Amino acid sequence: MKSEIITRAISLDHPKVQEVIKIAEEIMNSNKILNIDNLYHIAKRSLKIPRKGLLTIIQFLVNKQVLIEGSKYSKETVLSNRTRRNIYEFIKFNQAVHFSHIRKNISEDTSSDGGSSGQLIWHLEMLLKFKYIKKFKLGNYTVFLPTNLDEESGAIRFLLRDKLNKEILSIINSKKSIKRSEIYKILGEKREKVYYHINNLIEYDIIALKEKQDKEVCINPEKKDLLESILKEM
Amino acid sequence: MTLNWTPEVIADLCVFIIVIAGAIATYSFPQTRKIKSLLFIGLGMAVQSLLFLFEAIGMLFLNPLFKVLDGIFSIPGAILFIIAINYILKETYNSITLIIACSFGILIVYAAFLPDATTGVIFEAGYLTINWSGLYGFLGDLYQAYYAMIIFYWGIKTYLHAPILMKRDALIFFIGICLLPLSIVAYYFTLIDPSYIWLSDACVASGTIIYLIAVINEPKLVYILPFTLYRIVVKDREGNPIFDNDWSYSTINEKIFTGFINAVQLMSEEVMNMGGLLDINLEEGILIVHESEFITIGLASSKSSKLLRRNLVNFTYDFQKRFEKELKEYCTDMEAYEPAYELLEKHFSNFPKRIIPSKKHPLLLSGKHAKIPFELDNKLKQIEPNIESYEFLKTEIQKAPLCITKDFFTLYNELKNETDQLPEKEIKELENESGNE
């Protein structure tokens, strides 16, 4: 059997096709849901072309993927994008991460489409908008964290991701207080580097200078329990 | 000789004219002329029309022989319809229903030649008439009911499976088809009141007209049931995809789909020796792969089919002919092969698309065609020189809440400034923090 059903060739440049696209745009711009039903009825009213012809145009637009399946995102559907879901899972798993860290992970993730920085920032903005994640500024860094995590925990987790910070905090936490010079001696790292990290931790209020003993540092008593629980977890 | 002109004779002659005209119409319209199942339906209608003609002649001349013959004509008529329905539903002529119809038919022919097959000329409802009687009458009525059930089954299946863009045509078709079994029901009422024959004949005539209009208007209706087409992919000799089209969502795993096509390409010589065509049975459907000089085409469908294979071969031939220059130049730009959609229309236009599950299903304009404010468009182009990423963002903007674009650009600038200001060493450290876990 030969299938020789005659169909009139139409193209995207056809004026009626362009008019239907324009109507679809208008529907979307008016914040209404675009679907075949309303596109058909609105186009039928305004273009006055026969039903069959209009359906052929709509079918053609679907075939050519001018009209694609999809709707405005909701909290439930925003994670339907695989890359976005991977970013969210990554943030959820790592708890508090910097943009560079996410970018590197996503570019290495073969199951994601990768994408440019622009796309990555778009996904982050969507996750922020739909309150899957939040962000806060920690010094020079913008840190992303899941919404269920408070900023204080986020900050500690973010700082603990750095190996040296973690070691410094572990040492301080194991003692009531300790001199800075002792820390760098224990770690065997360059003094400037260790001091820089200690100063940062002081600045972020994770550790504090012991009163009357300027050179000794201790864990900020207000954050001690939290830090210990995070250290245990990590 | 006085002719016995009765309302029933006139009604039967009218139905004969309508049904035979319908049969001729199936051969007259170019869009239906070459559809095999419609060929059988047309033949079935032509034979069925003789039922009405012989019934009219039998009563007009008050000749019992013609009255007996009219019932016999219903047998080949029904058999041809069942063959057509089998072909539409299963792409084969045989079925149990056909065997039952044939066996039943033999019994009816036997009963037709029994002495009490007709009542002889009787006076009924003010007119002279002849009716079936005895075993012949009983079997004939039963046969009509059996036939009506099969037709109704076809009608309802077609309507339920019709894709949304054809739902209206399918509804018209279903209404037309429903009138045929209704005519049988009305015919049974003639046993109580002979005037119901008008209703019965009117149902046959209008049902025939309605379903034929639906089929002539949308011939895809007779392709709805046999199988679902999922996808077609064309790859060049190097394995680069050059054309891709989806008809409906399939559960066939993407890796399996492309993996098999790649495997077939690797053993192209063996496949070419087999005629270039290969059916691969997958759990979720079938993959038909066609190998030719320049291209390999994979077609995923719910079932294998002779029609599909033939159309695939023809499509391959036309594709190679149309894009010979591009293929010889090893062009891998998919846009260059976009006109292949016309070839798809030519060879696969009969198969309905099911990609959009319902009329109310939300749609979007793809990024390529969506229009966004000029200023926004410029900003997007600045941050996304890559055309694919730019179009992705355009599509996403349509799906996102209205206020998001402003926040997106703010976040973009914030993160860009931040990473620009951070020393490279620090960026590296931040990137590698995962290594510290």
Instruction: Convert the pLDDT of each residue in B137-157 to its tens digit.
Output: 899 989 989 998 999 999 998
Residues of A in contact with B365 (CB under 8 A): 21, 24-25, 28, 34, 66-68
Give SS3 for A179.
Answer: strand
Q: In this complex, which of A68, A94, A129 lies closest to B363 when CB atoms are compared?
A: A68
pLDDT digits (tens, 9 = 90+) for B301-321: 888 778 888 889 999 999 999
- Count interface pairs A-B at CB distance under 8 A: 187
Residue-level pLDDT at B246: 76
Average pLDDT over residues B115-130: 85
Nearest to A83 by CA among A105, A103, A106: A106
Q: In this complex, which of A35, A100, A117 lies closest to B361 when CB atoms are compared?
A: A35
Q: Which residue's structure tokens are 């209703």?
A: B199
Residue-level pLDDT at A5: 36
A137: CB partners within 8 A, 6+ apart: A143
Q: Give kind and range of the element (H or E) at residue B300.
A: strand B295-301
Which of B165, B227, B363 to mutate against chain A (most A CBs within 10 Å)? B363
Query: B142: left (phi > 0), else alpha (psi -120 to 50), else beta?
Result: alpha
Say whether residue A7 is in contact with chain B using an 8 A CB cutoff.
yes
CATH number of A156-233: 1.10.10.10
Chain B: give the shortest CA distance to residue A36, in Å: 5
Q: How many residues does chain B have?
A: 437
Nearest residue on chain A to B388, judged by CA atoms?
A: A115
Which of B92, B371, B399 to mutate against chain A (most A CBs within 10 Å)? B399
Q: Residue A189 is which amino acid?
A: E
Beta bridge partners of B397: none
Q: In this complex, which of A55, A94, A140 lies closest to B165 when CB atoms are compared?
A: A55
Chain A: give the shortest CA distance to residue B94, in Å: 18
CATH of region A81-148, choose from 1.10.8.60, 3.40.190.10, 3.40.640.10, 1.10.10.10: 1.10.10.10
Sign, CA torsion B337/B342/B346/B348: positive
B437/A21 touch (CB, cutoff 8 Å), yes or no: no
What are the tokens at B17? 């004219």
Reported as a pLDDT band with limits 50, 70 and 90, residue A114 is low
What are the tokens at A136? 């806060």
What percent of chain B stands above pLDDT 70? 90
Average pLDDT over residues B35-58: 90
> In angstroms, rounded to a whole number, what is the distance separating the alpha carbons of residues B102 and B111?
14
> In angstroms, rounded to a whole number, what is the distance separating the alpha carbons of residues B319 and B314?
8
- pLDDT over threshold 90, residue B107: yes
Residue extents of the structural domains in chain B: 7-223, 230-348, 362-436
Average pLDDT over residues B317-338: 86
Please state, as a whole number, how many other Cβ atoms lie within 10 Å of the Cβ of residue A108.
Answer: 10
Nearest to A71 by CA among A44, A39, A41, A31: A31
Residue-level pLDDT at A2: 40
Average pLDDT over residues A129-149: 88
> In angstroms, rounded to a whole number, what is the distance separating the alpha carbons of residues B121 and B60?
11
Q: Where are the alpha helices (DSSP H) in B91-133?
A: 96-112
A67/B364 touch (CB, cutoff 8 Å), yes or no: yes
Residue-level pLDDT at B30: 74
Q: Which residue's structure tokens are 């002659």?
A: B13
Burial of B374 (0-12, 13-18, 19+ CB in 10 A): exposed
Say whether residue A117 is in contact with chain B using an 8 A CB cutoff.
yes
Higher pLDDT, A59 or B17: B17
Average pLDDT over residues A71-77: 75
Nearest residue on chain A to B421, judged by CA atoms?
A: A140
Residue extents of the structural domains in chain A: 2-63, 81-148, 156-233
Q: What is the mean pLDDT of chain B?
A: 84
> In angstroms, rounded to a whole number, what is the distance separating the alpha carbons of residues A16 and A55?
12
Chain B: give the shortest CA distance to residue A226, in Å: 19
Sign, CA torsion A123/A124/A129/A132: positive
- pLDDT over threshold 50, residue A107: yes
The DSSP result for B349-379, as a single string, is TTSPP-SS--TTS-EEE-TTT----HHHHHH
A160 touches A207 (CB < 8 A): no
Nearest to B231 by CA among A63, A112, A5, A68: A63
Which of A98, A120, A144 to mutate against chain B (most B CBs within 10 Å)? A98
Burial of A234 (0-12, 13-18, 19+ CB in 10 A): middle
pLDDT digits (tens, 9 = 90+) for A34-66: 888 888 889 988 888 887 788 878 877 876 778
B140 touches B116 (CB < 8 A): no
B150: CB partners within 8 A, 6+ apart: B81, B82, B85, B97
Nearest residue on chain B to A7, judged by CA atoms?
A: B345
- pLDDT over threshold 50, residue B393: yes
Strand-by-strand arrangement of the B295-301 sheet: B241-246, B229-236, B295-301, B285-291, B277-282
Average pLDDT over residues A204-209: 82
- From residue B277, alpha-carbon distances to B223, B239, B261, B298, B322 in Å are 23, 17, 12, 10, 20
- From residue A174, alpha-carbon distances to A82, A202, A233 in Å are 43, 17, 16
- From residue B381, alpha-carbon distances to A119, B45, B275, B375, B394 in Å are 12, 63, 49, 10, 10
CATH class, B7-223 region? mainly alpha
Residues of A in contact with B407 (CB under 8 A): 125, 128-129
A68/B416 touch (CB, cutoff 8 Å), yes or no: no
B314 touches B332 (CB < 8 A): no
> In angstroms, rounded to a whole number, what is the distance separating the alpha carbons of residues B379 and B394?
11
Average pLDDT over residues A107-111: 62
Start-to-end Cα distance in chain B: 109
- pLDDT over threshold 80, residue B253: no
Residue-level pLDDT at B437: 40
Q: Which residue's structure tokens are 């550790």?
A: A207
Nearest residue on chain B to A122, judged by CA atoms?
A: B408
Chain B: give the shortest CA distance to residue A185, in Å: 22
> In angstroms, rounded to a whole number, what is the distance separating the alpha carbons of residues B404 and A204?
31
SS3 content of chain B, % helix, strand, coil (to 5): 65, 10, 25
Average pLDDT over residues B162-187: 88
Say whether residue A192 is in contact with chain B using an 8 A CB cutoff.
no
Residue-level pLDDT at B284: 75
Q: Please tell me the least confidently modeled range out of A64-73, A76-85, B165-174, B298-307.
A: A64-73
Residue-level pLDDT at B1: 65
A64 touches B355 (CB < 8 A): no
Whether the complex's predicted ipTM surpasses the cut of 0.85: no
B389/A119 touch (CB, cutoff 8 Å), yes or no: yes
> In angstroms, rounded to a whole number, what is the distance separating the alpha carbons of residues B79 and B100?
10
- pLDDT over threshold 60, residue B194: yes
Q: Residue B238 is which amino acid?
A: E
Burial of A16 (0-12, 13-18, 19+ CB in 10 A): middle
Q: How many residues does chain A have?
A: 234
Residues of A in contact with B432 (CB under 8 A): 104
A102 touches A87 (CB < 8 A): yes
Chain B: give the shortest CA distance to residue A208, in Å: 24
Average pLDDT over residues A192-207: 84
Q: How far is CA B52 from the centre of its chain?
A: 31
B370/A25 touch (CB, cutoff 8 Å), yes or no: yes
Chain A: give the shortest CA distance to residue B384, in Å: 6
Q: What is the mean pLDDT of chain A?
A: 80
Q: How far is CA B239 from the centre of its chain?
A: 32
Burial of B12 (0-12, 13-18, 19+ CB in 10 A): buried
Query: Do A81-148 and A156-233 come out as alike in CATH topology?
Result: yes
pLDDT digits (tens, 9 = 90+) for B213-246: 898 888 888 877 667 788 888 988 888 888 888 7
B401/A72 touch (CB, cutoff 8 Å), yes or no: yes
Say whether residue A140 is in contact with chain B using an 8 A CB cutoff.
yes
Nearest to B201 by CA among B216, B184, B225: B184
CATH superfamily of B230-348: Longin domain (3.30.450.50)
Q: Which residue's structure tokens are 């820390």?
A: A183
Nearest residue on chain B to A59, judged by CA atoms?
A: B165
A9/B407 touch (CB, cutoff 8 Å), yes or no: no
Q: In this complex, which of B217, B345, B359 lies closest to A7 when CB atoms are compared?
A: B345
What are the tokens at B120? 């002889």
Residues of B in contact with A17 (CB under 8 A): none
Chain A: give the shortest CA distance to residue B366, in Å: 5
Chain B: give the shortest CA distance to residue A211, in Å: 32
Residue-level pLDDT at A3: 38
Considering just the CA atoms, what is the radius of gyration of chain A in Å? 29
Say whether residue A128 is in contact with chain B using an 8 A CB cutoff.
yes
Burial of A111 (0-12, 13-18, 19+ CB in 10 A): exposed
- pLDDT over threshold 90, residue A178: no
Q: In this complex, which of B165, B348, B404 lies closest to A59 when CB atoms are compared?
A: B165
- pLDDT over threshold 50, residue A1: no
Burial of A113 (0-12, 13-18, 19+ CB in 10 A): middle
The DSSP result for B263-288, as a single string, is HHHHTHHHHHHTTSEEEEEETTEEEE
Chain A: give the shortest CA distance to residue B398, in Å: 7
B416/A117 touch (CB, cutoff 8 Å), yes or no: yes
